Amino acid sequence: MAILNLDLGTRSYPIYIDSGLLSKVDLLSSHIRAKRVCIVSNDIVAPLYIDALKAKLTDFSVDEVILPDGEAEKSLANFEVIMSHLLTNEHGRDTTLIALGGGVIGDITGFAAACYQRGIDFIQIPTTLLSQVDSSVGGKTAVNHPLGKNMIGAFYQPKAVFIDIDSLATLPVREFNAGMAEVIKYGILGDKVFFEWIEDNISGIKSADKQILAQMIEKCCQCKADIVASDETETGIRALLNLGHTFAHAIEAEQGYGKWLHGEAVATGMVLAAKLAVAMNLLEVSELRRMEKLILAFDLPVIAPQDMGFTEFIRHMRRDKKNIAGKLRFIIPTAIGQSEIRDDVSQDTLQEIL
């Protein structure tokens, strides 16, 4: 078992990575302070794992909230469903929420935990590759709004993260590939050696070699933990983790949440960010092509939706959370393994690549 620690002083917590982790009941129970637990999951993941999880939590009073699956369900309406359940069932501040599912479940459960009675404990059990390497770590919690993705939320850290690699065995190929966009992101933004490792291990990753997957997930979590520990609320370096996301969030909002998976939008967003860097003479074309090749190796899109151009993108980009004083800010790759935040992108250059 790999155990990482996200160092945030009194809010520090462990990240456990292993096969068969959900069967280690004593480890999970050690992070639950009281006797009441509410599991939040969705109608795809719950039938696979929730009964086995509840069977391990016999020392606790356990109930659950089961939401529909999909990015469109990360909404204020479903946030209210969770709140109503907790209130109706008289949950107190001693309740621990468990997020059992992918990024949508993790985000909305964390936001509910941050808000219910001004803050209760929650634990992340991510079951998708994307949530395991990215969204379950770092304490970003939120719901979507029709006008913007993740615009309503809070920074709120879990008590622990349990990453069971075995859960990837039930993940559809499209969802797995979408998670690989976030894996590739770590290599592009700050670790050339890791990018090269991914290139060298494509076949092992695609065949779900457990040792390779464990190594890959641990590397991503360590990278994110290091960045979050130095910039928890994204006032500086943490913004680099949004490589490709300015374009991606625009795609998701314009197309309707769920039409493009988040990772698919991020893949295209990273390519657009790289094209922007090439247009600004900050990145070699050969580096762009190498990024595209690796992204395409996992059947991810590299071209924006045909019905989106400059007008559609800019409308959503103006609401981006990274913007300061009205200036658009972009994460730009300047080489494989290097990136920077820029607010000097001209409208003409942006229009050129879009």
Domain locations in the chain?
Answer: 2-170, 173-353
61-106: per-residue pLDDT in tens?
999 999 999 999 999 999 999 999 999 999 999 999 999 999 999 9
pTM over 0.85: yes
Of 179, 196, 180, 219, give the one whose Cα is nearest residue 17: 219
Split at pLDDT 50, 70, 90, the class of 279 is very high
Told to judge if 238 belongs to the known catalytic residues of this protein, a careful annotator would answer yes
Told to judge if 234 belongs to the known catalytic residues of this protein, a careful annotator would answer yes
Question: Which of 229-233, 234-238, 308-312, 348-352 is predicted with the least confidence, judged by mean pLDDT?
Answer: 234-238
Told to judge if 245 belongs to the known catalytic residues of this protein, a careful annotator would answer yes
Q: 61 in helix, strand or coil?
A: strand
Told to judge if 5 belongs to the known catalytic residues of this protein, a careful annotator would answer no
| pLDDT for position 130 | 97
23-52: per-residue pLDDT in tens?
887 899 999 998 999 999 999 999 999 999
| Catalytic position from the list 238, 316, 321, 342 | 238
Percent of the chain with pLDDT over 90: 91
Both tokens of residue 64? 């659950």
Q: What is the DSSP letter of 132?
A: I
Pick the CATH number of 173-353 from 1.20.58.100, 1.10.10.10, 2.60.40.10, 1.20.1090.10: 1.20.1090.10
| Catalytic position from the list 182, 252, 287, 292 | 182
Split at pLDDT 50, 70, 90, the class of 193 is very high
Split at pLDDT 50, 70, 90, the class of 11 is very high
Told to judge if 140 belongs to the known catalytic residues of this protein, a careful annotator would answer yes
| Catalytic position from the list 242, 252, 254, 312 | 242
At residue 268, what is the residue type?
T
Write down the architecture of domain 2-170 according to CATH.
3-Layer(aba) Sandwich (3.40)
**What is the C-alpha radius of gyration for the chain, rounded to an integer number of angstroms?**
20
CA geometry: angle at 200 spanning 195 and 201, to 5°? 100
**Whole-number average pLDDT of the chain:** 95
303-331: per-residue pLDDT in tens?
999 999 999 999 999 888 778 777 889 99
Phi-psi region of 72 (alpha: psi -120 to 50; beta: other; left: phi over 0): alpha
261-272: per-residue pLDDT in tens?
999 999 999 999
| Catalytic position from the list 36, 74, 159, 245 | 245
Q: Residues with Cβ < 8 Å from 33, sequence gap 6 or more? A: 94, 96, 121
137-189: per-residue pLDDT in tens?
999 999 999 888 899 999 999 999 999 999 999 999 999 999 999 999 999 99
